[in-house]
Amino acid sequence: MRVLLFLLVSHTIFAGEYAVLTNGTRLHADRHEAAGSQIRLYTGEGYVELEAAQVSGFEPDQRVADAAAPIPREAATALSPLQLADQAADKYGLPRELLRSVMSAESGFQQQAVSPKGAVGLMQLMPATAQTMGVDAHDAVQNTDAGARYLRDLLEKYHGALYHALAAYNAGPAAVDKYQGIPPFRETIQYVNRIAGEWKKAGGASGQ
């Protein structure tokens, strides 16, 4: 999913809504507007622009907005998703462009992304994985750090085989171990090819 983020200044508080994408992902927004063939999802920090064909509908956010509620840590951080990715990549010895590509494929750099299976945040951590790693999946800093650590651990498990590690990040190590390589799942194959292709363009080595 390709998105473009434009910074705006806004102090209006909305109950909000969820944009339901054709792939099942739900993105939270304050409101939305149609702009030709594009849909703009407005948040307090700006707006995300999507192709209208990517959005299947909208659902209201049933939570009541509270003006006195504290600002979530992920909203308060001064670091952008790309900066968070670079910081985590440096910490765990991963190439920056690789982790950026994984974050892009996982969430489109959207902190509030939630998958149909319940994966949360920038690096789309499953609640069980986040619990095992001792992090709050809803915290952007912890989410990114844990995702990078998990990817590093997978690369170590598969002796640096990038394709195996990426497949395990997407489908789980059990599936990779069962098929002794990339499992024959369309989503996983497309996921691995997308990230590996972007990594090669950035000058990275192949990792089958």
160 and 96 fall within a common domain: yes
| C-alpha span between 33 and 113 (Å, rounded) | 19
pLDDT of the residue at 50: 75
Q: Going residue by residue through the chain (208 aa), what tens digit of pLDDT does each one get?
A: 222 222 222 222 335 777 777 766 667 677 888 877 888 877 655 667 778 887 888 887 654 333 333 435 544 457 899 999 999 999 999 999 999 999 999 999 999 999 988 999 999 999 999 999 999 999 999 999 999 999 999 999 998 999 999 999 999 999 999 999 999 999 999 999 999 888 788 766 555 5
Domain housing 21: 4-60
133 and 177 fall within a common domain: yes
CA atoms within 13 A on the CB side of 147: 37
Q: Is residue 206 assigned to a domain? A: no
Q: Is residue 65 assigned to a domain? A: no
Contact indicator for 184, 190 with CB cutoff of 8 Å: no
Active-site position among 49, 59, 74, 106? 106
| C-alpha span between 140 and 77 (Å, rounded) | 8
105 and 30 fall within a common domain: no
CA torsion sign for 153, 154, 155, 158 is positive
Sheet holding 31-35, edge to edge: 4-7, 46-51, 38-43, 31-35
13 and 45 fall within a common domain: yes
Active site residue 198: no
| C-alpha span between 16 and 20 (Å, rounded) | 13
86 and 141 fall within a common domain: yes
183 and 123 fall within a common domain: yes
| C-alpha span between 109 and 103 (Å, rounded) | 6
* Nearest-10 Cα torsion for 20, 21, 22, 23: -110
52 and 139 fall within a common domain: no
Structure-token pair, residue 206: 């192949």
85 and 167 fall within a common domain: yes
